[in-house]
Structure 1
Amino acid sequence: MTKLLPTSTAGSLPKPSWLAEPEKLWSPWKLEGDELVAAKHDALRVTLAEQEGAGIDIVSDGEQTRQHFVTTFIEHLDGVDFNRRETVRIRDRYDASVPSVVGPVSRRKPVFVEDAKFLRAQTDCPIKWALPGPMTMIDTLHDAHYGSREKLAWEFATILNEEARELEAAGVDIVQFDEPAFNVFFEEVNDWGVACLEKAIEGLACQTAVHICYGYGIKANTDWKKTLGSEWRQYEQTFPKLQASNIDLVSLECHNSHVPMDLIELLRGKKVMVGAIDVANTAVETPEEVAATLRKALQFVDADKLYPCTNCGMTPLSRAVARGKLAALAAGAELVRRELPASMAAE
């Protein structure tokens, strides 16, 4: 990207009501077979048009072809039994019924590559594609085979690297790994989590990103946030290791959070996707509110490395609210862009 302050979303966008139940995570598909395939492509076209119409610079599929940002990828892997389900604690926050790893995990064929090719054919904009990170994958499963979170994470990192390389070949400009687990399991992140992430990006020439937030705007996450006190300093535990890593961009939550903005300084030198849109609130931000968040961030990240973004995905929101928030993000970024020195804006 040569444009200053290029905007993007962190991940998911609301699905049309004819594809799945709106404003709901894990919503089942309303169609089957060839009709579902066509409906997913139509939804992808719609969400792409909404991003471009709002002025978003780096577009994505909005996860229109996925039921869930983690399990849809896992569904396509060997070694995981979705009929053998166990209840586990997800990110030490809430219980969920999840599939079990029952044998060696492997990827028989590409998972998202055809969808990425379809998106690439629809737009000339830079595109970003999100994959689940290794640590978040192991936290969304019951392991009945490996007996080691770290060993399973390394297996997933190898599989993710295979997928990421093929996404790059399909024309993806930024491959993003979603790692909300990085905000919970700090010792593991520093011991082997970041190393697994670097395995997942090995050999990639495109840009790479890691997205770390405080979760969707669902009750389990908002209740957890209420326990975190007046300052959320979780990023302080992992940013130094990420700053020293090979990851190009780090995506973080800022707007309407209690994250001290100066923690961004720990990433100095990296490109930072600053969350300037609150996805846990249905109120649509004003462009000035977005701009205020970005101005604060500019104290700790250089303008040529600041990428305005949303805090997290927006699947649980209505399409109208999401459209408003996308437009506010683009307009707020433009306000700040105009304030930058003319020599910088011309680069």
Structure 2
Amino acid sequence: MMNQNYAANPDFAATPLFPTSTAGSLPKPGWLAEPETLWSPWKLTGDDLLTAQQDALRITLQEQQQAGIDIVSDGEQTRQHFVTTFIEHLAGVDFQQRQTVRIRNRYDASVPTVVGPVARLAPVFVEDARFLRQQTCQPIKWALPGPMTMIDTLYDAHYHSRKQLAFEFARILNQEARDLVGAGVDIIQFDEPAFNVFFDDVNDWGIEALELAIEGLSCETAVHICYGYGIQANTAWKKTLGEQWRQYEKILPKLKESNIDIVSLECHNSRVPLELLELVRGKKVMVGAIDVANHQIETPAEVAATLRSALQYVDADKLYPCTNCGMAPLPRHIARQKLAALSAGAALLRQELQRR
């Protein structure tokens, strides 16, 4: 299928006001990996695994379409984890030599070690993206780990400089992103939950690294900044943040000045004061209107209420309803119902504005 970025894509042009999307991961089928589990080992190997992953990708695409999602993704069906699956394809990182590090100042994890110069020897997700492009004419969003979040998921025994390693990863990510655009991806999203933790580094060099990662891309670009998956370590951390979560206040002003096109933020059932969205007025904003940390299905009215509140600070043509974060830890039937609620809530608000 001929590649075309979505700005010239008639299928994207036909999408309605408030186009919906997911933040990234979606649950995997039980025959592919252990359900509701991050870093779950694959249940198959070799050609059988590739076939199963492609089957899962087809299914997750169909489930997004049935739910009414406008901008679709692969649901990360070929990845065990949103960061480490990319890293394991790079030179210079030893997955056998592991160290325990503190992830985003929140929980300990055993991680691989950077032992030499990092390099991308071959494309990582490009064949997966090309396969997805063959299945649909809808706009595709593809998530990659952001440079700062990558360095927070490793032990660095080579560079001994967070900034230098982040810039090396940014160059690698730019190579991958360019090839993904060539495979037909319309929006490249960089996942940077670390932006909600390391504020000084974000403003000193983190956004600069992100700019390097998006340099020269012909597609639109997004940065996803959330408070994490709906796992216990993250929900426990959120309870320590007080009545107002104002982390975005420290990074959005500089992001507004950046070349990133879209900012993806966690909004529903969070304690983020929505007036902080004013800090990126003029950018497109993926407004998280689905809570991924519980099994309760939002009603369309609840989704519409979150989006309606965001409209005070985001122009209507720049508001993109989304999930708060990835949904991999959720049961599949819960995720399906939440996606349907997201689409229905966006439709409610769309109808409301049309009546005006």
- TM-score of the pair, normalised by structure 2: 0.96
Choose which of 60, 66, 80 in structure 2 pairs with 1:47.
Answer: 60
Summarize deviations over 1:198-250 as a string: whole Å, max 9, x none. 00000001010000000000010000000000000000000001100000000
Letter in 2 for 1:77: L
Choose which of 169, 173, 183 in structure 2 pairs with 1:156.
Answer: 169
Residue 80, structure 1, aligned to residue 87, structure 2:
no
Residue 146, structure 1, aligned to residue 159, structure 2:
yes
Q: 2:193 matched to which residue of 1?
A: 180
Deviation at 1:339, TM superposition (A): 1.4
Summarize deviations over 1:178-207 as a string: whole Å, max 9, x none. 000000000000000000000000000101
Residue 204, structure 1, aligned to residue 245, structure 2:
no
Distance 1:211 1:120 in 2: 22
Distance 1:318 1:59 in 2: 19
Choose which of 170, 178, 182 in structure 2 pairs with 1:169.
Answer: 182
Choose which of 273, 283, 295 in structure 2 pairs with 1:270.
Answer: 283
Deviation at 1:342, TM superposition (A): 6.5
Q: 1:291 matched to which residue of 2?
A: 304
Q: 1:58 matched to which residue of 2?
A: 71
Deviation at 1:28, TM superposition (A): 0.4
Residue 129, structure 1, aligned to residue 120, structure 2:
no
Distance 1:97 1:236 in 2: 31
Question: Deviation above 3 Å: which 4+ runs of structure 1?
Answer: none
Q: 2:321 matched to which residue of 1?
A: 308
Q: 1:20 matched to which residue of 2?
A: 33
Residue 92, structure 1, aligned to residue 113, structure 2:
no
Distance 2:269 2:238 in 1: 12
- TM-score of the pair, normalised by structure 1: 0.98
Distance 1:341 1:122 in 2: 32
Deviation at 1:145, TM superposition (A): 0.1
Q: How many residue pairs end up in the alignment?
A: 343
Structure 2 unmatched runs, 5+: 1-11
Structure 1 unmatched runs, 5+: none
Q: 1:120 matched to which residue of 2?
A: 133
Distance 1:342 1:163 in 2: 44
Secondary structure at the counterpart of residue 340 of structure 1: helix
Summarize deviations over 1:126-153 as a string: whole Å, max 9, x none. 0000000000000000000001000000
Secondary structure at the counterpart of residue 243 of structure 2: coil
Summarize deviations over 1:22-75 as a string: whole Å, max 9, x none. 001110000000000000000000000000000000000000000000000000
Deviation at 1:341, TM superposition (A): 3.9
Residue 282, structure 1, aligned to residue 295, structure 2:
yes
Deviation at 1:317, TM superposition (A): 0.3
Summarize deviations over 1:275-331 as a string: whole Å, max 9, x none. 000000100100000000000000000000000000000000000000000000000
Choose which of 248, 262, 266 in structure 2 pairs with 1:249.
Answer: 262
Secondary structure at the counterpart of residue 330 of structure 1: helix
Distance 2:354 2:127 in 1: 42
Q: 2:50 matched to which residue of 1?
A: 37
Secondary structure at the counterpart of residue 47 of structure 2: helix
Identical-residue share of aligned pairs (%): 76
Distance 2:333 2:67 in 1: 12
Q: 2:248 matched to which residue of 1?
A: 235
Distance 2:202 2:139 in 1: 30
